[in-house]
Amino acid sequence: MYRQTEIIKDSSEVSPGGGDLEEGGGAEFVINVGPQHPATHGVLHLVITLNGETIKKVEPHLGFIHRSIEKMCESLTYRQFIYVTSRMDYLSSHINNHGCALCVEKGLQVEIPPRAQVIRVIMDELTRIASHELWWGAMAMDLGAFTPFFHAFRERETINDIMEETCGARLTMNYMVPGGVMADIHPNFQKRVKDFIILFKSKVDEYDELVTGNVIFRNRMKGVGFLSKEDAISYGCTGPTARGSTASCDIRKLYPYEVYDKVEFEEILETGCDSFARYMVRIRELRQSIKIIEQLIDNIPEGDFQAKTKAVLKLPKGEFYSRVETARGEFGVYIVSEGGATPYRIRFRSPGFSNLSALDHMIRGGKIGDLIAAMGTLDLVIPDIDR
Amino acid sequence: MFIVKYIKEVWGAVRSLLKGMRMTGYYFTHHKEIITQQYPDNKAILNLPERFKGEVVMPHNENNEHACTGCTACELACPNGTIKVITKFEIMPDGKKKKAIDKLVYHLELCTMCNLCIIACPTDAIKMAQTFEHSVFDRNQLTKILNNPGSKIREGVE
Amino acid sequence: MWSLSKITDTIQNWLNQTFNPTWALIFEMLIVGVCVISLFAILGLILVLMERKVSAWMQIRLGPNRVGPKGMFQSLADTVKLLVKEGLTPGGADKLLFNLAPFVAMIVAMLLMAPIAFAKDFQMWDLNIGVLYVSAISSVSVIGILMAGWASNNKYSLLGAMRSGAQIVSYELSAGLSALAIVVLTGSLSVSDIIYSQADGWWIFKGHIPAIIAFVTFIIAVTAETNRAPFDLAEAESELTAGFHTEYSGMKFALFFLAEYVNVFIVCAIGATLFLGGWMPFHIGNWQGFNHVMDFIPSSIWFFGKTFFLIFVIMWFRWTFPRLRIDQLLNLEWKYLLPISMINLLLITAMAILKWHF
């Protein structure tokens, strides 16, 4: 340790947040994980304090991809601001857009045609599958297994093709508009989704064979990143992160929107409270999403895909809040309107931010490898944390 | 028994590893599962769906006429200021002045392909093209003028 | 029949006739040195390409297919790229150790080539303690890694190097114990003796289940010793970016890379020699006809075939399994592999004494 300190003190390039050994402790070692690090999937910066390999403290530093989306939205009209939210949680952009559209519709008091409702739900669930697929591959990659990443992308690509055909884009679709959806579904849509369901059902079992059952994987996951139910609630965790700790928080069940109260699906709860439980929640959610799509794909009602709305949308004076369940947890939209064509104030409640805040608590005392595993199961999307 | 448990544990672990190896072994030997698309080589068979949002274009008919009235609905609908409509007044044969577009400037580098301008257009003068290779060496080339030089508004479009 | 040993004999005779014995020896040494270096380079090129193709096919990709026919010259192109890259030395690094480390890693890999029998009677140095020599020299490789990690003045590198130190020291035990199993059966440490003892059948078949267990523990232990996934904790790119070689670039990085692949080749060659009979063809007891047919395949093909099969198995591991955690890695060694290989060694010893093996 001696030489190392001396060298660092001599050179002028001491990196911020790391470098000197702390006085007194003697055995502390500060490392910057990120902002350029393969496991942070973006520009998250974690300052971790180590004792040997054991983690003593994790300090997330944000702000590397802050674009002040909320402020931007204040200068955009109610039709325009929806597209910006695709750039937050880009893996579940449909669901973000959905949440914003719901909030505007709440203010406008418009009734959404049933066809649009069903299309929206199908799109949401397809997005959720695509997002979980990417998470699965990326998390296995974090743990050192590269092959699952490519296998996950194979199925995700199929969803992207379906999206491309109907919405015209693969990642940031901007398909939801206040009052319904932008365009009717493509004539091929139903057939292709059904083909995808058949394909996907056989592939999900492969996932279990390749990763879930693997003894190395199980040992890396079990008992790692323990987060009790109370802690999950007090940190404000939502989505699979909280459901892995038996905290029931599925917005689709608790505050159903669109047709979620008419379809049959279960809210996945796992009792493990560790990384493996969070992993299992997501893997089981894949099957639930397929179940929802199966129920709806043949029952898309006829009718309009968009409600009639005025050319310029103006929300009445007041405050509006709506929430949806994204692939990562609860996404909330809060709009304050002064009666104009643009929102007076807007705020998004993104799931990743609260989930990340629990990281320090769940990882203390673990190893560096545990940090990567736990971070993988939180499914962080950095632009969502740092808007 | 401790020994039995130990052996069972080891055996279970080895089995789970072999299962995974069978999976990768299957893909190693079955090359028909390969999904790689060799992109620049497959350009000929690459077909993009008709709804694909690549860039905004203004279709002209064979007489070099377009349908844009210069109403600036697209400019208002655009969230990023991608479109700029520059209008002029044309003197009609009957001596009246009529508003028409001089240039419809489109900044591809600012465009997010949100499709709002296309929806806003009352005369369907602009549409999305299925192109996607937009990279250029100079970003000035990304600022495009959508109407052809010398083009006119089509008869009957109001 | 065409054989490598005849070529070497001819060269030696010619040298001895033309020069006096001292010069002949010096020339022989030079030729061997050149051969080792070129084998080193060729192995690097082949194994990198092989790894990329194997990983690509397992990941439903095509892999390199642009440079040369079926991408065969891809690794050559990569080498040229690495050669022209700038070899940076970080400001706070210990310059001497930093620049020395890749060469230490490479020289260790080269030294290990000495006792390997590539074909029948084709061996650089048939020393009578071959197996001991290999296990002794291979532990030096950790010094190269520790030097690199320490001298880089990078925290990731240091962590990677420390991990690697703990890992190699512990896995050497079970690798050594499982190699010892065969030494017990053969009664000799010499590589050529071990191979000749398998003329009537390879040890993996002759030694019943204990030999198979020794083989499996050997493969696991050498995978860990060469820092390959799932035991690649010294590199662990998702945890430590690139571990001990984070700060290396250009050819110095390439030497580490090369040393890793050559190490893989060497441990697989040792594994093939100990358990699969080295260059010895596949023989079954007294089936004269069958054995005769097998003898027609040149011995070098037998050796490289077995070695590359083992290399493929190790690559298969890498592209299937996730990485272990450091404490699990050590648990696996001390709680599972070491007790198993110790009991196994006892069984094998009993078997050797009672002559239960074939």
Structure tokens at B74: 């697209």
3-state secondary structure of C70: helix
Determine the length of chain B. Answer: 158
* All structural domains of chain C with their residue ranges: 75-354
Integer-rounded Cα radius of gyration of chain C: 21
Which has the minimum average pLDDT: A122-136, A234-248, C124-138? C124-138
User: Is the pLDDT assigned to residue A126 strictly greater than 70?
Assistant: yes
CB pair distance less than 8 Å for A220 and C321: no
A163 to A135, A166, A170, A298, B151: CA distances (angstroms): 19, 5, 6, 18, 36
The answer on A108 and A21 residing in a single domain is no
Q: Please list every residue in chain A whose beta carbon sits closer than 8 Å to the beta carbon of residue C316.
A: none
Q: Which amino acid is at A194?
A: K
- pLDDT for res A20: 45
Provide the domain limits for residue A53: 2-61
CB distance C62–B10 less than 8 Å?
no
Residue A315: is its pLDDT beyond 50? yes
Asked whether the beta carbons of residue B35 and residue A215 sit closer than 8 angstroms, the reply is no
Q: What single-letter amino acid sits at A188?
A: N
pLDDT given at position A18: 43
Inter-chain touch B17–A80, beta carbons under 8 Å: no
Between chains, do C316 and B10 touch, taking CB under 8 Å as contact? Answer: no
Instruction: Inform me whether the pLDDT recorded for C291 exceeds 80.
Output: no
Domain boundary residue among A42, A61, A80? Answer: A61
Q: Give bridge partners of residue A345 from the DSSP assignment.
A: A336
- Rounded mean pLDDT of A206-228? 86
Q: Does residue A357 sit in the same domain as residue A303? A: yes
- ipTM of this predicted structure: 0.82
Contact B63/B150 with Cβ under 8 angstroms?
Answer: no
Distance from CA of B148 to the nearest CA of A (A): 26
CB A29 within 8 A of CB C155: yes
Q: Which 3-state string (H, E, C) describes A323-383?
A: EEECCCCEEEEEEEECCCCCCCEEEEECHHHHHHHCHHHHHCCCEHHHHHHHHHHHCCCHH
DSSP count for chain B of H helices, then E strands: 3, 7
User: Would you state the torsion angle of the CA atoms of residues B143, B146, B152, B156, taken in this order, to the nearest 10 degrees?
Assistant: -140
Q: Report the gap between the CA of A122 and the closest CA in chain C (Å).
A: 29
Residue A130 confidence (pLDDT) above 60: yes
In chain C, residues 20-59 whose CB comes closer than 8 Å to chain B: 54, 57-59
For chain B, which residues make up each domain, given as ranges?
A: 2-35, 55-153
| Cα distance between residue A327 and residue A330, in whole Å | 9
Give pLDDT, residue A27.
Answer: 65
Q: What is the pLDDT of residue A26?
A: 56
- Mutation pick from B5, B6, B8, B24 vs chain C, by most beta carbons of C within 10 Å, is B24
Contact C57 B38 (CB under 8 A): no
Q: Is A190 on the interface with B (CB under 8 A)?
A: no
Chain C residues with at least one Cβ partner in A under 8 Å:
55, 58-61, 91-92, 94, 150, 153, 155-156, 158-159, 163, 229-230, 232, 236-241, 319-328
Percent pLDDT > 70 in chain C is 98
User: Chain C within 8 Å of B11 (Cβ-Cβ)?
Assistant: no
- The CATH number assigned to the domain holding A283 equals 1.10.645.10
In this structure, the answer to whether residues A355 and A319 fall within a common structural domain is: yes
Q: For residue A236, give Cα distances in angstroms to A232, A351, C307.
A: 6, 9, 55
Query: Phi and psi of C137, rounded to 5°?
Result: -70, -35
Structure confidence by residue, pLDDT tens digits, B55-73: 888 888 888 888 888 888 8
Looking at the structure, do residues A52 and A148 belong to the same domain, yes or no?
A: no
Residue in chain B lying closest to A311 (CA): B120
- Substitution target in C51, C62, C209 with the highest count of B β-carbons within 10 Å is C62
pLDDT tens digits along C81-102: 888 888 788 888 888 888 888 8
In chain A, % of residues over pLDDT 90 = 1
pLDDT at residue A11 tops 70: no
* Interchain proximity A38–C238, CB inside 8 Å: yes
Note which residues in 96-115 of chain B have CB less than 8 A from chain C: none
Q: What is the average pLDDT score of chain A?
A: 84
Query: Does residue A380 contact residue A91 with C-beta atoms inside 8 Å?
Result: no
Question: pLDDT tens digits for B88-112?
Answer: 887 777 777 777 788 888 888 888 8
Residues of B in contact with A186 (CB under 8 A): 49, 51
Higher pLDDT, residue C119 or C79: C79
pLDDT in tens, A38-69: 877 778 888 888 887 888 888 888 888 888 88
CB contact under 8 A, A213 and B16: yes
Residue A80 clears pLDDT 70, i.e. is over it = yes
Interface contact flag, A168 B113, Cβ < 8 Å: yes
Confidence of residue C285 (pLDDT cuts 50, 70, 90): low
Question: How confident is the model at residue A16, as a pLDDT?
Answer: 41
B114 token code pair = 């949100």
* 3-state DSSP assignment of residue B98: strand
- The pLDDT of B11-29, averaged and rounded, is 86
Contacts of C94 in chain A (CB under 8 A): 3, 7
For A225-251, what is the mean pLDDT?
87
Answer yes or no: do A160 and A37 share one domain: no
What is the overall mean pLDDT for chain B? 84
A53 and A73 belong to one structural domain: no
> A210 pLDDT exceeds 80?
yes
List the single residue in B17, B25, B33 with the smallest CB-CB distance to C60.
B33
Which of A147, A154, A216 is facing C324, going by the closest CB pair?
A: A216
The per-residue pLDDT for A12 is 39
Chain A contact for B131 (CB, 8 A cutoff)? no
In this prediction, residue A13 carries a pLDDT of 40
Whether the per-residue pLDDT at C263 is higher than 80: the answer is yes
Nearest CB among C62, C316, C336 relative to B25 is that of C316
**Same domain assignment for residues A239 and A154:** yes
CATH architecture of B55-153: 2-Layer Sandwich (3.30)
What pLDDT, on the 0 to 100 scale, is given for residue A79?
A: 86
Residues of chain A with Cβ-Cβ distance to B24 below 8 Å are 147, 210
Strand ranges, E, within A38-179:
45-51, 54-61, 176-177
B35 and A165 within 8 Å at the Cβ level: the answer is: no
Q: Which residues contact A165 (CB under 8 A, 6 or more apart)?
A: A186, A188, A189, A192, B49, B51
* Structural domains of chain A, count: 2
Q: What is the pLDDT of residue A6?
A: 42
Tokens of A237: 């965790």
In B78-97, the residues whose Cβ lies within 8 Å of chain A are 78-79
Q: Are residues A129 and A232 in the same domain?
A: yes
- For residues A82 and A14, membership in a common domain is answered with no
DSSP state at residue B129: E
Q: Which residues of C touch A371 (CB under 8 A)?
A: 239
Q: What pLDDT is recorded for position A22? A: 42
Contact check, Cβ <8 Å, C322/A210: no
Phi, psi of B98 (to 5 degrees): -130, 140
